[in-house]
Amino acid sequence: MKIIDIRLLIRLILIRFKMIVTIVGMATSVAIFILLLEKQVYVSEAKLLVIEEDQMTWLKKIAPLVGESRDEASEKFKTQILMMQSGETIRKVVDEVNKKVDRSLGVNPITIRSLVNIYSKANIIVVQAKTNNPELSFQIADIYSKMVLQQNIEIYQGTATRVREMIEKQLGNARVKIGKYEKMLRKLKKNGNAEEATAEKEINEAINQANKQIEKLKIDLKIAEKIKEDLEYDFKHGGEKYIKYLKSPILKTLVEKRRLKKQEYDKDMYNLEIKNDLSRLDEKILQELLDQSKDKSSFISGYYDRLQDQIKAQDAAIRRIHSMLSIYKTEKMTASSKQKSQTNEDEMTVDEIEQTLNFEKNNYNILVKKLHEARLAEELNVGNLKIIDRADKPLLAIHTGRKEKVALVFFVSFILSIGLVLLVNYYENIFDAYEELVYYKDLSIALGYIPLGSSVHPLINTQMPRSLYVEAYKEISAKMALSYDYYRVIVFSSVDNVGGGENVAINFAINEAMSGKKVALVDANYRRPSIATCMGIANNYGLSEFVNGNPTGAQLVNKTNIDNLVFINTGDVPGNPIDLFLHEKFDAFIDILKRKVDLIVFYLPPSNLFSDSSIVAKKSDGVILIVQETVSKVTTFKNIISKYKSVKIKIYGTIMFGETKGNKSKKDYAVNKSGKNKNIIGNIFFYVTIMISILGLVVGISYKTMDHYREKEILQQVK
């Protein structure tokens, strides 16, 4: 699990989101100053009172009529009162106000609704108008309050009218019921139960007759279906076996047996074992067929024809039976419906009908009484509302519209912020401080930070005094020794095209040599050779000549003024340096140096621009990346790390160099006091905006406090 230091996280937030904080501060400042430019308005109010006693009296009469308690009716009434603030009701009021307001005051009819605010407190309805003209505020509040009064009266009247219409509808239903039961009572008293008994007997006989016919038809249907099945069986299996017995005495016995079975079938409906009989045809048909047949084949042919005729006859019989069944079932259903209807009518006796009739008459009388009360309530409501405080012309102005203006300001500031973020995107995508490099320690170890007072990297030597600059390289070497047990060949490469990376590689090699190791520094940057110039050595022979087989060892190696440190130049720049690094002599070059020195330091061009560093790093033990503060981009750094890891190249860590940190007044730590801050414009913009925001906030709070008391005083005068 990744553990992040809280202090480091806070610093990173301040670094990475500096511009966002600046933008928010700017938006706040603009919003506060815009509030100071608010327009002054004049407020006029009118108050309407819903008279409590008359309202309760009205609710007391209306609530029982609709089957509700007084509280339930009161809640519904208040809901109706609030409905006047929206929809069709408001449009009507606005239309009326548009007709009456003086047009010379310069008001737009469309904006009248937005100038009015209606709210309720207990039984008081307040109509408030806010405009920049005192006369206009007065006219709108006065006309609007009268319209609201009329609307409330209409709400009362509408409620009472709906109740009255509902009661009148219930009265009509009650009259219909009373007429029905009176008719039933007269019928029972006049005819008694004779007609009912006769009708019931006829219905029962019809149902019984239908049931008998249905049962008989069901039996006939089963017989017909069985005969058809037997005929189809004979037709399928042929009649050759019957010829053998046609003239024998058995035929007569079997035919007789089948006739008896047919007679018994109507009684017990047992399953005829007809498959063991000789034929499904009658004796007369068989004898006739035998007489007409000249031989066996003609008998069989005639036999099949007779069977087909019989099957068709049975199909017709089955269809007729189904049709008759449908008819009798329909007759049964009709008779049953009449019986049920007759039963329902006969369930009530004379006494029961008289009792129900009296109940309906009493209900009718109650509804008549309710209708009378509803008409009284409809007249009572007119006195429930009145204006208790009419609108006056306001004398003083107050500020208003804060919410709308603040929302507009922040919206505009948000749009401007997007543009600013795009402008400073370059700054947000760079390493602003060493702490940010530490934050990415899961990608690469932060080996150290090299502070600079200027853009020039001085080379370390034995006579250089103790300073933060020298100690930074010692710290890097110590961290390498503590973190890794083995490293013989190291590649140094920059992130982005920054200047000064070669000095970091030189000073790292010098520091290692000063610690006692034999070090070989190799300039392999064929894109822009620079180490020879920094060290004051002529670039005559170098690595390219060795690979081509020209120089001797003495010509290749250059001694330096640092003990244990030798330097090897690039030599002539080849057409394609990649071919040089892929040559087998380059591998031999590394092997020879390993036998001669303890550490080989290669310096190669930027990793994101050229693939040279990737090829050499693959042949080495690992790579150290160099980034420059406020210059190297974070995205480039991440891409290089991803590229190296994809080809399994070991990354020892990252070194950052930049401006001097700490107390610059100490001479032994400062290299050059004249260093220029590359991000000075952004810092000035940030701090100035913060100061403006604080100033605007103080002024805004003071303004709001004064305005609050001024508005409170004016509202008291209006009341």
pLDDT of res. 488? 93
Listed ranges 56-60, 134-138, 149-153, 422-426; the one with the highest mean pLDDT: 134-138
Span 433-678 CATH architecture:
3-Layer(aba) Sandwich (3.40)
pLDDT of res. 507? 92
Q: Is the pLDDT of residue 597 over 90?
A: yes
Q: Which residue has the higher pLDDT, 9 or 530?
A: 530
Percent of the chain with pLDDT over 70: 44
pLDDT of res. 508? 94
Closest CA to 520 of 648, 650, 620, 628: 620
pLDDT of res. 523? 93
Closest CA to 582 of 622, 541, 547, 530: 547
pLDDT of res. 282? 56
Please state whether beta strands 519-523 and 446-452 pair in parallel, antiparallel, or not at all (unpaired). unpaired
Domain ranges for the chain: 1-38+401-432+690-719, 198-347, 433-678
Measured CA to CA in angstroms, residue 493 lies from 286, 496, 525, 637 at distances of 118, 9, 9, 11
Listed ranges 190-194, 299-303, 306-310, 471-475; the one with the highest mean pLDDT: 471-475
User: Averaged over 191-215, what is the pLDDT?
Assistant: 65
User: Averaged over 39-46, what is the pLDDT?
Assistant: 64
Q: Which residue has the higher pLDDT, 289 or 569?
A: 569
Mapped onto helix, strand or coil, the DSSP state of residue 319 is helix
Binned at pLDDT 50, 70 and 90, residue 623 comes out as very high
Percent of the chain with pLDDT over 90: 13
Chain-centroid distance of CA 316 in Å reads 68
Q: Which residue has the tokens 């603009």?
A: 30
Residue 221, CA atoms < 13 Å, CB-side half-sphere: 14
Summarised one tens digit per residue, pLDDT across range 405-430 is 556 665 666 566 555 655 555 555 66
Q: Is the pLDDT of residue 382 over 50?
A: no
For 472, other C-beta atoms within 10 Å of its C-beta total 22
pLDDT of res. 696? 57
Q: Which residues pair with 283 in a beta bridge?
A: none
pLDDT of res. 410? 59
- pTM of the full structure: 0.42
**Cα separation of the two ends of the chain:** 66
pLDDT of res. 621? 93
Rg (CA), the chain: 56
DSSP one-letter code for 373: H
Mapped onto helix, strand or coil, the DSSP state of residue 602 is strand
pLDDT of res. 40? 61
Joined together, the tokens standing for residue 476 give 């890097």
Average pLDDT, the chain: 68
User: Averaged over 8-27, what is the pLDDT?
Assistant: 58
Answer yes or no: are the C-beta atoms of 472 and 629 closer than 8 Å: no
Q: Is the pLDDT of residue 245 over 50?
A: no
User: Averaged over 580-587, what is the pLDDT?
Assistant: 92
Answer yes or no: are the C-beta atoms of 718 and 49 closer than 8 Å: no
